[in-house]
Amino acid sequence: EVQLLESGGDLVQPGGSLTLSCAASGFTFNNFVMNWVRQAPGKGLEWVSTIGITGNTYYADSVKGRFTISRDNSMNTLYLHMHSLRAEDTAVYFCAKDFLGSLAPDSWGQGTLVTVSS
């Protein structure tokens, strides 16, 4: 069974940094494209970042230059390194795995809450 478990969410001050982790199990992690998607309180889904199986990375304009996605295939873990955090980054952050060959996220974690506030 595929499992994705996010961690690292916290209350952080504006301008601060935080790293989120997503521990993956139940599938061959290095064979799949992985994503971060966020959802601000009461709002819709917003794509944040994607990392391919060869390590190529893509970012939403809203986080480009501030967030870095990475993966450790030996640890079956996905990361999101977040810097220069803003109030508008407050959200539940989900990691999601793509369905092979479909470019569609078929498995999601439960999410971890990041709150940016002074």
Partner 1 sequence: DIVMTQTPLSSPVTLGQPASISCRSNQSLVHSDGNTYLSWLQQRPGQPPRLLIYKIFNRFSGVPDRFSGSGAGADFTLKISRVEAEDVGVYYCMQTARSSRSFGQGTKLEIK
Chain residues in the site for partner 1 (CB under 8 A): 35, 37, 44-47, 50, 58-61, 94, 96, 99, 102-106, 108-111
Q: Which is nearer to partner 1, 67 or 94 (CB)?
A: 94
Q: Which is nearer to partner 1, 27 or 58 (CB)?
A: 58
Q: Are 83 and 17 in contact (CB under 8 A)?
A: yes
Minimum CB separation of residue 45 from partner 1 in Å reads 5
Q: What is the torsion angle, in degrees rounded to the nearest 10, for the CA atoms of residue 112, residue 41, residue 98 and residue 81?
A: -50
Minimum CB separation of residue 44 from partner 1 in Å reads 4
Q: Which is nearer to partner 1, 18 or 109 (CB)?
A: 109
Minimum CB separation of residue 14 from partner 1 in Å reads 26
Q: Are 117 and 85 in contact (CB under 8 A)?
A: no
Q: Please list, residue by residue across 64-97, b when 16 or more beta carbons sit within 10 angstroms of its beta carbon and e when fewer do.
A: eeebbbebeeeebbbbbebeebeeebbbbbbbbb
